[in-house]
Amino acid sequence: MADKASIQKAGKLKDREFFSGSRRFALLAGLISMILLVVLLRTGSLQLFGDHDVAIPETVGRMSEIKLDAPRGDIVDRNGVPLAVSDAVNRVEMVSARMTNEQLNRYLLDIARLFDEYGCPFNSPLLKWFDVPSEYRSLKLLETSESLPFVFRQSYDEIFLWQTDRDLFNLTDPEKATTERLRRRMVREDPDDFFDYLLYDFFVIEPDRSSGSRLYTDGEAFTIMQLRYLLLENNWLFVSGQPLVLADEVPESLSARLVEQNYRFPGLVVTRHYKRRYTDDARYVGHALGYVGLISSNEYNRLKNDGYGINDVVGKTGVEQAAERYLRGESGRMTLNSWYGEGASDPVTYPGD
């Protein structure tokens, strides 16, 4: 009888444990179901009604395209001796990476320092108009901390037209400056005054005139101005995402560094460019070989349907002209993809397909 009672008691304990486990499982399953239901309802409400409190930063992209020059075919004599060849040189081009004004100034100064380190000049059309005096031109602008004087390098009439150009500075003739606003935008006849105008008002390299504190030395600021003016002269290309040439015949060592550290210089791209060279053996047949040059407007109108661009090089005379269709290479294209998020401080530009 005792054994039978023990068996019955053990059976009841097992039943109790079973039902207790079942209740725990049911409770857990119910909790998971409720969580899934809440998530489902929340997702449905967002899709149906939206949620103005939820802000997802938008990432914006832009694709630019760079033309890759093709080498022109070589011309050799009947013994295979080269007479005309195409030498490859490196070119650095820049496309807009959508930076703020402050970011752009720092970025351009970094580029200038890198080019200076390798002794490589960059294109600087500003120096045609505005520069330091000749006795200061031997100074290393990025290393000097002294205040610099400035001079105009063209006649007053030419400087006047340059400063009043609507596509450049769009300053006002002093005789027509009848309001305070126009007087602040008058033509600057004094070079040092013009430097201050570019520094504080036009390029806003220094944002705070009143405090007297400076972010950059005169030499650094003038270097930034040179690159900012290059962008200004090519403003339509730059803002539309088209490349503009920053430097030609760039040393291989600098080109390799730019490719290796492209994350530091978004928007800078190293491409190959080709220069025509006639060998010493060509001097005896130069009249027959002819020469090449930039395409003229008449040549462009005649050849544009064959894929020629306004900056292409064509044969002008002799064999270079007669064999143009055989010597001309077929240019390629490279895309650049630029991505930047809302409020992002570091835009990214990288080669595409």
Residues 40-98: tens digit of each pLDDT: 777 666 555 544 444 444 444 556 676 777 889 999 999 999 999 999 999 999 888 77
Q: Amino acid letter at 142? A: L
Q: Which residues pair with 152 in a beta bridge?
A: 130
Alpha carbon 97 to its chain centroid, in Å, reads: 5
Do the Cβ atoms of 240 and 95 come closer than 8 Å? Answer: no
pLDDT of residue 344: 43
Q: Amino acid letter at 287? A: H
Do the Cβ atoms of 317 and 285 come closer than 8 Å? Answer: no
Do the Cβ atoms of 269 and 92 come closer than 8 Å? Answer: yes
pLDDT of residue 52: 45
pLDDT of residue 317: 93
pLDDT of residue 54: 42
Contacts of 205 (CB under 8 A, 6+ apart): 105, 198, 199, 215, 216, 221, 224, 225, 228
SS (H, E, C) 23-74: HHHHHHHHHHHHHHHHHHHHHHHHHHHCCCCCCCCCEEEEEEEEEECCCCCC
In this prediction the pTM is: 0.71
pLDDT of residue 55: 43
Structure tokens at 224: 């930034």
Q: Starting from the edge strand earliest in sequence, which strands make up the sheet with 332-341, in order?
A: 59-68, 332-341, 348-351
> For the chain, which ranges sit under pLDDT 50?
2, 13, 18, 50-60, 340-345, 350, 353
pLDDT of residue 338: 58
pLDDT of residue 48: 54
Do the Cβ atoms of 121 and 115 come closer than 8 Å? Answer: yes
